Amino acid sequence: MSSSSEAKSTAGRRRDRPATERKGTPGGSKLRALRERARRTQLWVELEAELGAGYLQRVESGKIVLPERVTVERILEAIQAPYADRREALQLFGYAATSGLPTPEELIGAREAARRELGAVGVPAYVLDCAHRLVAWNGTFPLLLGVRSDDPWLRQLAGRSLLAAWFEPTSRLGRLVVDPDEFLPALIRAMRHEMRSFRAEPWCAEVLTELMALPRFRHYHAQVEKETAPISGGRALVPVRLATPGAGRLAFRLAAEPFTGDVRFRVVYYFPGDAATMRACTDWAGA
């Protein structure tokens, strides 16, 4: 047999190799790693996810190359995989990962992680979820608002849309804004940038509907809709001047950065925009 014919024969045998001889798939290997990290046996997961005996072993080993999406989701739910790992596992099997709103357990986890992140920050900062709800904040943020850290209003604000509060003229946040015609459109541009990967999610439309019920938001949203889309996908820091209680008018630039490995959470920093604001932040950090 010629070398050419032998190569073709070998390639054919590889193509015809039965699934039972496969060594595994990226998706199956990911599920195995997640299960072992959760310290669960294959049998336990099969019972919890209502799968047939031996089914998970065949998925993990690659004998079943493409399990149905609902099956993968049941396996991930059984082992209580974190959001980032669920997203990766689904993508490894070729499924588009959904981004549902954080569960109560995920919100608790984000608050715990925020203690370390926010505790080391000397400027006002807080964590928002993908629906712009306030998850956690550091000790400087209440001072920016002119309230104590144990103020009941802060507890009422927790879990609510902080974006909506900026557009309510009678809210504590709304009353702080010095230049609404500059700041509020900038917030909407930032919102559109941050939610670009969630547009297909049902909850995203609900968030926008709730915001559109605010007259001030509708007004500035209509203005932003007429603007030419930016050339770059990135965005500049959002400038804001605030009439802060006790410190007068201060200038900040707001920056949002990813928080932990979950794209549904981000931390927002208030970086000082001038010398007076820098002094105020230094005083707050030492309070």
Report how far residue 98's alpha carbon sits from residue 178's, in angstroms, rounded to the nearest whole number: 39
Residue 87, pLDDT score: 83
* Nearest-angstrom CA–CA distance, 149 and 139: 7
Same domain, 199 and 224: yes
Per DSSP, the residues of 152-185 read: HHHHHHTTSBHHHHHT-TTSHHHHHBS-HHHHHH
pLDDT digits (tens, 9 = 90+) for 107-116: 998 999 898 8
Residue 98 domain-assigned (yes or no): no
| Residue where one domain finishes, among candidates 92, 121, 145 | 92
- pLDDT tens-digit series, residues 20-32: 444 679 999 999 9
Q: Tell whether 193 and 240 lie within a shared domain.
A: yes
Are residue 141 and residue 35 in the same domain, yes or no? no
pLDDT at 19: 41
Bridging pattern class, strands 134-137 and 238-244: unpaired
Q: Give the rounded percent of residues in the chain with a pLDDT score beyond 70.
A: 89
Among 61, 92, 123, identify where a domain stops. 92
In the DSSP assignment, the letter for residue 269 is: E
Residue 220 forms part of a structural domain: yes
- Which residue shows structure tokens 């039965």? 18
Strand ranges (DSSP E) for 23-67? Answer: none
Q: Could you read off the pLDDT of 258-284 as tens digits, one per residue?
A: 887 788 999 999 999 999 999 999 999
Kindly indicate the confidence band of residue 236, based on its pLDDT and cuts at 50, 70 and 90. low
Task: Note the pLDDT of residue 262.
Answer: 84
Average pLDDT over residues 222-245: 77
